[in-house]
Structure 1
Amino acid sequence: MNPSTEIENGLPLDMIIFGGMGDLAMRKLLPALYMAFLHGNLPATTRIVSTGRQDFDREAYLAHVEENSRSFITQSAFNDKTWDGFLKLLEYVRLDVQAAPDFGGLAQVSRPGAQRVFYLSTAPALFTIICDKLAAAGLVDGNARVVLEKPLGHDLPSAIEINEAVGKHFAESQIYRIDHYLGKETVQNLMVLRFGNSILEPLWRAPNISSVQITVAEELGVGSRAGFYDGTGAMRDMLQNHLLQLLCIVAMEPPTSLNADAVRDEKLKVLRSLRRFTLADIARDTVRGQYTHGVSGNQEVEGYLEERNVPEDSKTETFVALRTYIDTWRWSKVPFYLRTGKRMQRRSSKIVVEFANPPFPLFPDAPGGVANRLVIELQPEEAIKLQIMAKQPGSGMQMQQVTLNLDLQSAFQQRRAEAYERLLIDVVRGRLTHFMRRDELEAAWAWADPIINGWTTLGEKPHPYPAGSWGPAESFALLARDGHAWVE
């Protein structure tokens, strides 16, 4: 294990996780903190305090962690000695967020003068209550930081309400609105790819780019989240946050520096330049879907309406595809196609930048379709690929599409940290670049709300698609009428 590094202000660190017994904490947060500890990225003075309503003592809590969190650590990174050292950092405090006296107990556990990071891994409805009671217990000071998990609101008014409530006690510079997609190595590398390479930046605009696709496809269904998901849907759960953030990084102008606000200023400009949808636009340029019975992962699976806790007449979408435009000089008339869905054929997240074909067909026998694509794969593997045309061996000038694979894993021997680990380290070190600012969040909701409300006005049911497919046929027609096709 590397020697631990201290945070910038030299204070001891108290990482306090609300919802510390929940699924996210066990599957993602504690494994990520273990990896940070393993690689020396937590201060030696760190304590991790989980809160929950279970009446556990510390021994029962550690047993729960052993049973529910340890298996989510990569086997090659696990060793007993480091795990034992990590467990020594863990504490447990029984806390009901509705009970003010419980926060007094938390105040007794937290060390005076510590750098407190409050991770709110709870329902957003509890954010206001938690922040109010933390402040009342004297736990919020100028050094405190708060991490907010999505979804941050259900619409623009609720997002504003959350921001106002949290902002009463924490300055904007103390608030970390987390989107784990922004912690992915390939997403962060996209800024370097765009602005650090002179061969790409002059081409990164209309008319050189003919279209951009962003896909986040999930193989799993709603599972145990059905009760939450049915009141949310794919638009609120994925597109309004994850996909819009990816779009911002693809489309933003060069920031004046790598300062957090300089980067976020440019992302905000993209969100404010997104064309607003009229009711006619919604009917023409959006597709909602809902998965039905099918085969996924070589197993028969239920349709959405058969899932537990889903009303039999639910109109909640599990799939969204849409075409949108960014009204700026750089992106004038370039369509952006966004797609996300559950129970898709396979898990896949990618950004596809399609470059315009040469204006004159010098090679008349060239195969049809797009000559050049930049494909940025985010999951399950992270890769950057450039598709170009090349001559086939032999006589004549027959062409074939080939792929230049920018193999980052071979080029760099350093370990690639998982998204939550990278973002938690950023929180500890006070780096805000890869977290959403308040005005970004509200601009995203201001764009998404009219679409969601428009669907209600139109009153159409989502189009059915079989589990294990790539979504409803209407999503393919959305691109086909422009002469494009989804890249699977």
Structure 2
Amino acid sequence: MVSRVIPVEPFDLVIFGGTGDLARRKILPGLYRRFWAGQLPEEARIIGASRKPMSDEEFRAFAREAIDAFAIEGAGDAEMVAAFLDKLGYVAVDAKGDGGWPELGARLRDGTVRAFYFSVGPSLFGDLAERLHKYEMATPDCRVVVEKPFGHDLETAQELNGTLAKFFAEKQIYRIDHYLGKETVQNLMAVRFGNILFEPIWNAQYVDHIQITVAETVGVGGRGAYYDKSGAMRDMVQNHLMQLLCLIAMEPPNMFEPDAVRDEKLKVIRALQPVEPHHIVRGQYGQPEQEDGYRAEAGDPRSKTESFVAMRVAVQNWRWAGTPFYLRTGKKLRARESEIAVVFKPTPHSIFGDQAEPQRNVLTIRLQPNEGMELDVTIKEPGPGGMRLIDVPLDMSFAEALAEESASVPEAYERLIMDVIRGNQTLFMRGDEVEAAWAWTDPIIDGWQDRGDVPKPYDIGSNGPDDALALLHRDGRKWRDIKEHRTKK
């Protein structure tokens, strides 16, 4: 199998917040991996920018340390690393003043793709955008990348969108959600719309329910102050899980083109019904006085912020009426696992007599760890003794199936940054999509506050609060146990 790596056009990429944690952990190592895979053109230039005074050589040393720590592939190739570092430069700028901006403008070239990565807090978006225009660096076809959170609620999201719209057209704005850059997420679209096998049964007539789980084993750690103002609903459900739900439930677009895909995702969000209080469970890891519990790590002994959310969601349209979607995400759970499980209905009639349990086909899309897909099918259990049915998985692990290409398969941030350079917005959220997601999320959060709801404590290393189990049990279903499922391989 031959990898088809398509180089991008020459570009100037300015990383505002270039000495920050995201640049160190994701952006710079990701760009190096794309260089190592042969995807960066010779003329590519990467410029770090932040308040901190630093020379080009000091920034290159910072990048070298980041590559050693996070790049993995090719990090030990001194000649390759040196060639990449030669593309890097640095300018100290004042986001709220005029210091450094003429020097930054002098570094940029005409006739190349020009992109600006706002790896900073949203409060600086307007200041950066205003100065890019003041110093005539923001060309009509430049691109600007902004990180989440895209607001704290609908009102602040509208304000952010309004701020960006003063200086950039929607086609220039790339709201990045790294979940959409995962190989498996994109393969979900390929499986649905590139194969005749699944799409005819991808509807309420054949699908019993769908589960979307994003489970983490880590707590809030050093993000306690931020997270306590956000919670799982804002931090995970409103963006990551919402995007996965949209890709699972959306109608086929007329073509794989940015606005066509995002139009269909927007229709799903607008078809979401309000969630009733008894269809949602909030949780908080650890007991109130526990040293490694949420409240201790967040620094607030009376915090009512949730670290876990489970909910039953209804998509009221022709395709999905009557099929529930169960969403679940939380911190300090039993295992680190992100998966989408499409649980199909049992056969309408069994010709094999009374079985202990109805046999079901389940399509599982694993996002992390070990990205891949698995389809449970029913076969006869080998051996004598009659017709005994068992479920076995048809498993495709991307790491094994695409072993020859594993080096050139980009991670999420790498893929998305390259899409920015190519001008492809398919995997980025549009402004109206973000606002529609907040319009659905806000009433849920407001309801918690109005009722004075307190999240249920759950044991660290568990599957979450017991009430989350009851959420499915009331419907005659059960959550898929991640650990138990993983051992079926």
Instruction: State if a TM-score over 0.5 links the two structures.
Output: yes
Aligned to 2:366: 377
2:457 is matched by which residue type in structure 1? Answer: P
Q: What is the Cα deviation at residue 335 of structure 1?
A: 0.4
Structure 1 contact 367–400 (Cα < 8 Å) conserved: no
Aligned positions of 1:113-132 closer than 5 A: 113-132=111-130
Structure 2 contact 216–332 (Cα < 8 Å) conserved: yes
Task: Tell me, yes or no, if structure 1 residue 102 matches structure 2 residue 100.
Answer: yes
Aligned to 1:425: 418
Distance of 1:284 and 1:5 partners within structure 2 = 50
1:302 is matched by which residue type in structure 2? Answer: D
1:447 is matched by which residue type in structure 2? Answer: W
TM-score where L is the length of structure 1:
0.93
Aligned to 1:49: 47
1:447 to 428, 437, 440: 440
Aligned to 1:270: 268
Aligned positions of 1:83-482 closer than 5 A: 83-277=81-275, 281=276, 283-292=277-286, 302-307=292-297, 310-368=299-357, 371-393=360-382, 394-412=384-402, 413-415=404-406, 416-482=409-475
Structure 2 contact 8–39 (Cα < 8 Å) conserved: no
Aligned positions of 1:14-93 closer than 5 A: 14-75=12-73, 78-93=76-91
Q: What is the Cα deviation at residue 77 of structure 1?
A: 5.7
Q: What is the Cα deviation at residue 408 of structure 1?
A: 3.6
SS at match of 2:30: helix
SS at match of 1:101: coil
SS at match of 2:405: coil
Q: 1:18 to 1:208 in 2, by over 3 A?
A: same
Q: What is the Cα deviation at residue 293 of structure 1?
A: 6.1
Distance of 2:272 and 2:420 partners within structure 1 = 29
User: Could you tell which deviates more after superposition, 125-134 or 96-105?
Assistant: 96-105
Q: What is the Cα deviation at residue 69 of structure 1?
A: 4.2
1:401 is matched by which residue type in structure 2? Answer: D
Q: 1:128 to 1:257 in 2, by over 3 A?
A: same
SS at match of 2:394: strand
SS at match of 2:232: helix
Q: What is the Cα deviation at residue 173 of structure 1?
A: 0.9
Give 5+ residue unaligned stretches, structure 2: 483-489
Q: What is the Cα deviation at residue 65 of structure 1?
A: 2.5
Q: Which whole-Å deviations, capped at 9, do the CAs of 1:132-188 have from their partners, x for residues lacking one?
A: 121112111112100111111001111111111111111111111111111111110
Q: What is the Cα deviation at residue 371 of structure 1?
A: 1.5
Q: Which whole-Å deviations, capped at 9, do the CAs of 1:391-419 have from their partners, x for residues lacking one?
A: 11223111111111134444333222111
TM-score where L is the length of structure 2:
0.93
Q: What is the Cα deviation at residue 80 of structure 1?
A: 1.2
1:206 is matched by which residue type in structure 2? Answer: A
Structure 1 contact 354–370 (Cα < 8 Å) conserved: no
Q: Alpha carbon RMSD of aligned pairs, Å?
A: 2.0
SS at match of 2:145: strand
How many residue pairs get matched?
474
SS at match of 2:378: strand
Q: What is the Cα deviation at residue 420 of structure 1?
A: 0.8
Distance of 2:46 and 2:74 partners within structure 1 = 23
Distance of 1:312 and 1:93 partners within structure 2 = 43
Q: Which whole-Å deviations, capped at 9, do the CAs of 1:181-221 have from their partners, x for residues lacking one?
A: 11111110111101111121111001210100001111111
Q: What is the Cα deviation at residue 54 of structure 1?
A: 1.8
Distance of 1:178 and 1:140 partners within structure 2 = 19
Distance of 1:78 and 1:221 partners within structure 2 = 32
Q: Which whole-Å deviations, capped at 9, do the CAs of 1:312-362 have from their partners, x for residues lacking one?
A: 211111111110100011101100001111111111000000001112233
SS at match of 1:100: coil
Structure 2 contact 64–85 (Cα < 8 Å) conserved: no
Distance of 2:143 and 2:445 partners within structure 1 = 33
1:480 is matched by which residue type in structure 2? Answer: H
Identity rate, percent = 47
SS at match of 2:209: strand
User: Could you tell which deviates more after superposition, 335-344 or 64-73?
Assistant: 64-73
Q: What is the Cα deviation at residue 38 of structure 1?
A: 1.1
1:329 is matched by which residue type in structure 2? Answer: W
Q: What is the Cα deviation at residue 127 of structure 1?
A: 1.2
Q: What is the Cα deviation at residue 67 of structure 1?
A: 3.0
Aligned to 2:485: none
